Amino acid sequence: METKRKGDICESLVADWLVSNGHEVLARNYRCPYGEIDIISLSDNGILCVTEVKSLTGRWPSDDVRYMVGPQKRKRLRRTLESFLSSDSKVRFNGIRFDVATVTDGSVNYYYGDDF
């Protein structure tokens, strides 16, 4: 399966998982000159979640998942989120969190990250 199609399928699985867990998906594949955010959602308790989706061929230990997105990627995500928020001033939230979702063999594993 081609990489783009596989990525789209994985992102759809994660978006569905988020909705089934009380999130409102605000944007998918948001792009600006600074970068791209796979999924931006608002949790049921008002947390704005920036979710990076990773497709894996095998299961990774949760301690390793936090290393999948390094400092440079986090910096780009912050700048991209700033662009999103400046273009959509109607979004109200209680905090911001960076999460990682992995998809392995069609199964979603969601890792809650630290606050920005």
Residue 50 sits in which domain range? 3-111
Most confident segment among 1-5, 26-30, 65-69 = 26-30
Average pLDDT score over the chain: 87
User: What tens digit of pLDDT does each residue of 40-67 get?
Assistant: 999 999 999 999 998 876 666 656 666 7
How far apart CA 106 and CA 24 sit, in angstroms, is 21
Inside any domain, residue 78: yes
Inside any domain, residue 100: yes
Inside any domain, residue 22: yes
pLDDT at 106: 86
pLDDT-based confidence at 91, cuts 50/70/90? Answer: confident
Inside any domain, residue 116: no
Inside any domain, residue 31: yes
Higher pLDDT: 69 or 77? It is 77
The structural domain count of the chain equals: 1
Inside any domain, residue 94: yes
pLDDT-based confidence at 116, cuts 50/70/90? Answer: very low
Inside any domain, residue 14: yes
Inside any domain, residue 61: yes
Residues 6+ positions from 30 with CB-CB distance below 8 Å: 36, 37, 40, 80, 84
How far apart CA 42 and CA 94 sit, in angstroms, is 10
pLDDT-based confidence at 2, cuts 50/70/90? Answer: confident
Q: What is the CATH number of the domain that holds 42?
A: 3.40.1350.10
